[in-house]
Amino acid sequence: MPVANAKNIKAPKASALPASCNVLSLDNDQQQFWRFAAGKGDLNLADVQSGTAEDPLPAKHVDKTFSDLWSRRLNVVLLPPDRVFYRVLQMPQCDRGELISMVELQIDKLSPLPLAQTVWTMDVVPARGMLPPETQTVVVTIAERKMVEELLGRLEVKGYVADNIEVAALRQALTAPADVDGVWLYPQPRGEKISCLVAWWCDGVLRNLTQITLASASHLNELAEHITCSTWAGEMAGWLVRPPTWHLVAEGELAANWGQMIGEWLGEPIEVVAPLAASNVAVVTARHAGRARPSEPTLLPAEISGRYRRDFMDSIWLRTLGVGLVVYLLLLVAFVVVSEVTKSKQAALIKELVPLGRESTNAVQLNGQIVQLQEQVALRNAALDAYNSVSEKLPAELSLDQFTFSKGEKIVLRGTAPAAQSDKIEEYTEVLKTATNSVGQILFQKVYPANFNRIQGGAALQWSFTCDFRRKEDEP
């Protein structure tokens, strides 16, 4: 029994793969979850979980976080296989944007429902077989908008925000070997009913793709009626020119029962092919969704996708503001704590400095008193030095009547002399200019000329002059 292998499926070249990809199948009361991580240019299966629809999903792997801003995480959801419609078109080779526009012009005619009630996407089937080089095969997938919105609502309750919607049955159908033509049947049990995807290949070209639902596994009359109609349609369209070969993609009891019943109905044996394992189908789906171009139509309604993006950015802003507020509060608390500690230390220092302040004040006062005493002593010494010098150097012809010490800055000398001794007064002033103190320093900075007044009828002179003390700043 030949087995299709996902490892032999080449992923189409498109946009860069996301950092991680989640694939979720939520069908009736069961769910399956696959998690993929990017590595070596491909998506590698990292985890598989199965359970009921009520089981929670791993929040750390499906929630949108700050890291999605620079490391994209893709959430993919699988539609139930019996809730979609397919249309196969042969379109001219053209630019991708032009191809989308051409399909949009026909979608109203292709859809079994009013266009406003549907969502759609398209896949270009890789060229193989005898398809003319100027033609390409396009599969248009159409789903009911209400059903999609209900499914997305169930996922939102579980915290799963979908970025893309895929149909696993279509991914498996497009993995059929390129060198095998005929009719490919993909039955899948869904409770008591059977969902069956029927793919018609002719000369390596996909000609028809139909999803039908049988009331039970034994209602092959419904399948036979569909196959008969498709056969007539293929013959009338001209692409079915010879009897097709038959392939049943199933396993286990379903493959045995259907293989026997369809073989008896056809009157010829039917080839049974093992289907891709669920994990392999998820691999193919993740690759396709991961390389999907953002500008192309998807089964995810544009308004819901836009709302998801706005909600994500709003949550990022709210989280940023929350983090900023927490940081601000932490800084504020730290500031208050540091301030209180500083105030406590400052109060302790002030308490310690109070007695030191008193001692410092007393020291300053004592220092002032010492300076005053020193100044007084200096003035007294200066006065004594001046008096000694004035007395010692006073000529015998002159008499000193008054010695005035003024503010420690100068002295005023007054006395009398015979009228004929005026020259002695001048000599006296010159001598005082070189007078020294007890340590040998010049005593006077300046000695002013003497003033004379005649008294006693001119027989005597009354003289006076001033001497400025030498200041410290004038000393060399």
CB 89 within 8 Å of CB 106: yes
Closest CA to 469 of 377, 406, 415: 406
What does the longest C-alpha to C-alpha distance in the chain come to?
179
Beta bridge partners of 44: 37
CB 458 within 8 Å of CB 433: no
pLDDT of residue 330: 94
Strands 460-469 and 410-418 turn out to be: antiparallel
How far apart, in whole angstroms, are the C-alpha atoms of residue 412 and residue 435? 15
Distance of CA 337 to the CA centre of its chain: 30
Name the CATH topology of 388-474: Gyrase A; domain 2 (3.30.1360)
pLDDT of residue 2: 40
3-class state of residue 95 by DSSP: coil
C-alpha distances out from residue 133 to 126, 130, 178, 377, 420, Å: 12, 9, 16, 124, 149
pLDDT of residue 7: 39
User: How many other β-carbons are positioned within 10 Å of the β-carbon of residue 388?
Assistant: 14
Residue-wise pLDDT for 64-103, tens only, equals 887 777 878 889 999 988 889 999 999 998 888 899 999 9
How far apart, in whole angstroms, are the C-alpha atoms of residue 316 and residue 314? 5
pLDDT of residue 189: 85
Distance of CA 357 to the CA centre of its chain: 55
pLDDT of residue 472: 63
How far apart, in whole angstroms, are the C-alpha atoms of residue 344 and residue 339? 8
Helix (H) or strand (E) holding 73: strand 73-78
Residue-wise pLDDT for 271-296, tens only, equals 898 888 888 888 888 888 877 777 78
Closest CA to 288 of 408, 123, 437, 459: 123
H and E: helices and strands count for the chain: 9, 18
What residue ranges in 282-339 does DSSP mark as E strands? none
pLDDT along the chain (476 residues), means of 10: 38 64 86 88 86 88 82 88 90 89 90 90 82 86 93 91 90 78 87 86 88 77 82 84 88 87 84 87 85 83 90 87 91 93 88 79 83 78 78 79 77 83 80 78 82 78 83 59
How far apart, in whole angstroms, are the C-alpha atoms of residue 468 and residue 429? 12
DSSP 129: T
* CA dihedral angle for residue 10, residue 11, residue 14, residue 20, rounded to 10 degrees: -150
pLDDT of residue 333: 94
**48: which 2 tokens?**
């598989």
How far apart, in whole angstroms, are the C-alpha atoms of residue 474 and residue 476? 6
